[in-house]
Amino acid sequence: MRVLGIILRREIEVRLRDWRFWITILSIPVLIVGVGGVIALLERDRPPITIYLPAELRELNLPSTKRLRFVSAPAATTLELKAQLREKEGFLLRSPDTGNTATFLLYTKEPLPSVEEENLQRLLQTALQQERLRKIGLSPEKWAYLTTPPTLKTFVLSAKGEESQSASAVSFLGTLLSLFLFMIIISAGSQILLSVLEEKTNRLAEYLLTHISPAQLLTGKLLASLFLTFVQAGIWIAFGWGGLYAAGTKATPLLNALSTSSWGWTLCFLLGGILLYAFLYAAAGASSDSVTELSSFGQALQWPLLLSFILVSTSAMQPQHPITIFLSHFPLTSPLAMPLRFTLSEIKTWEKLLSLFLLGISILGGRYLAARLYQRALLLYGQKLSWKAIWHLLRG
């Protein structure tokens, strides 16, 4: 225990003192907030576009918006108007209708942003609609009566009763959860990979192994990685909470999208995923010579989690599809797939237990693999081990 404490303290201190650790943790939320802030600023400071309307179009009564300002065109020919146009200005013409299709021509000095183009399209459609309703003698109220779309509210029935859920919150939560779990698991795995490689690259492993066992060294690194991963997760959650609060949105709908027990199961799968990938990445570090010279095993390890993230996001639309069910039980993908299924449908307890059991078995297998490779490959310097070499090492 004493030795474990010494290793743990050192691992945590070194990472916390490393500025790159903080860059990794803070860059994503700061980037999101920063980019969002810059976009908001650009939006706020963007001047409106003035569109000149000739006399015949004034009857459309196009309403000015924050971005589009409609004013009467001065008396001038089309050519003169074109020549006088400045930036952030345009003028609108209407060519004769072709059947039911009305065609408008907009001339500007610079391309109109697609958002504004769509807004203008909508305004023209509404104005044209009003014009045509007047022509056929139908009042706007009767038109609204005919065309107002119905409202649909969705509810998910749980075993305990009816629950009112926001479909958008659930859908958003599912995506967010997948991304969050993916990044956390990758982060934990990367930390332990770098930690193992640090000692191998700096030729320290042999000296360390004279005083502590490979199992003690590995366990110390794992615990440190777990601690730091939860620090990272906590900071990201705090940023997310703060961001939602600043945007005037509460996080409660997101939290309520899953029941308390589902959050508990999600935490179990997160922990299991971190442990499994931490052991596998430790094995990858022991069998590699450097980050740039990852062994065959290390290179292969990157794919299951990435593929599971892609597949899980795609198959999420069908939570009961055999592929989705398989992914939620296969240990390398279940840490992402099963929590996502929680957001989409009620999962039977035996399924969750089975998935966790399989994950648990895999964790033990990963631990065995990591300990074996750690002990045997840690002293193999200057070598990037092939699959054959790894197999021989495991066989002893």
Q: For another protein, what does the binding mask look like between residues 102 and 121, x meaning CB under 8 A?
A: --------------------
* Cβ–Cβ < 8 Å for 328, 341: yes
Q: How far, in Å, CA of 252 to CA of 59, rounded?
A: 48
Q: How far is the CB of 17 from another protein (least distance, A)?
A: 9
Q: Does 303 bind another protein (CB under 8 A)?
A: no
Q: How far is the CB of 369 from another protein (least distance, A)?
A: 17
Q: For another protein, what does the binding mask look like between residues 372 and 391, x meaning CB under 8 A?
A: -------x-x----x-xx--
Which is closer to another protein, CB of 3 or CB of 169? 3
Q: For another protein, what does the binding mask look like between residues 14 and 53, x meaning CB under 8 A?
A: x---------------------------------------
- Quote the crossing angle between the two packed helices 296-315 and 167-201, to the nearest 10°: 180
Q: Does 350 bind another protein (CB under 8 A)?
A: no
Which is closer to another protein, CB of 282 or CB of 390? 390
- Considering only residues 212-271, where is the footprint of another protein by CB under 8 A? 212
* Cβ–Cβ < 8 Å for 51, 106: yes
What's the first-to-final CA gap in the chain, in angstroms? 29
Q: How far is the CB of 7 from another protein (least distance, A)?
A: 8
Q: Give the list of residues 6+ apart from residue 347 with CB closer than 8 angstroms, or none.
A: 328, 338, 341
Q: Give the list of residues 6+ apart from residue 361 with CB closer than 8 angstroms, or none.
A: 331
Q: How far is the CB of 183 from another protein (least distance, A)?
A: 26
| Size of site (CB under 8 A) for another protein | 25
Which is closer to another protein, CB of 86 or CB of 388? 388
Part of the chain binding another protein (CB under 8 A), chosen from 2-10, 24-32, 86-94, 296-304: 2-10
Q: Does 10 bind another protein (CB under 8 A)?
A: yes
Q: Give the list of residues 6+ apart from residue 226 with CB closer than 8 angstroms, or none.
A: 188, 274, 275, 278
| Interface with another protein (CB under 8 A), residue from 122, 132, 211, 321 | 211
| Interface with another protein (CB under 8 A), residue from 26, 209, 231, 235 | 209
Q: How far is the CB of 275 from another protein (least distance, A)?
A: 25
| Interface with another protein (CB under 8 A), residue from 66, 109, 122, 203 | 203
Q: Which of 329, 359, 351 is nearest to 268 (CA)?
A: 359
Name the token pair of 143: 């038109």
Which residues face 186 on adjacent strands? none
Q: Does 12 bind another protein (CB under 8 A)?
A: no
Q: Does 122 bind another protein (CB under 8 A)?
A: no
Left if phi > 0, otherwise alpha if psi is -120 to 50, otherwise beta: which for 310?
A: alpha
Name the token pair of 28: 């994503």
Q: Report long-range pairs for 226-231 (Cβ below 8 Å, ≥24 apart).
A: 226/188, 226/274, 226/275, 226/278, 227/8, 227/12, 228/12, 228/15, 228/16, 228/21, 228/188, 228/191, 229/184, 229/187, 229/188, 229/191, 229/274, 231/25
Q: How far, in Å, CA of 57 to CA of 79, rounded?
A: 18
Q: Does 392 bind another protein (CB under 8 A)?
A: yes
* Cβ–Cβ < 8 Å for 272, 186: no
Q: Does 207 bind another protein (CB under 8 A)?
A: yes
Length of the chain as a residue count: 396
Q: Does 183 bind another protein (CB under 8 A)?
A: no
Q: Does 6 bind another protein (CB under 8 A)?
A: yes
| Interface with another protein (CB under 8 A), residue from 101, 148, 164, 202 | 202
Q: Which residues bind another protein (CB under 8 A)?
A: 3, 6-7, 10, 14, 198, 202-204, 206-212, 379, 381, 386, 388-389, 392-393, 395-396
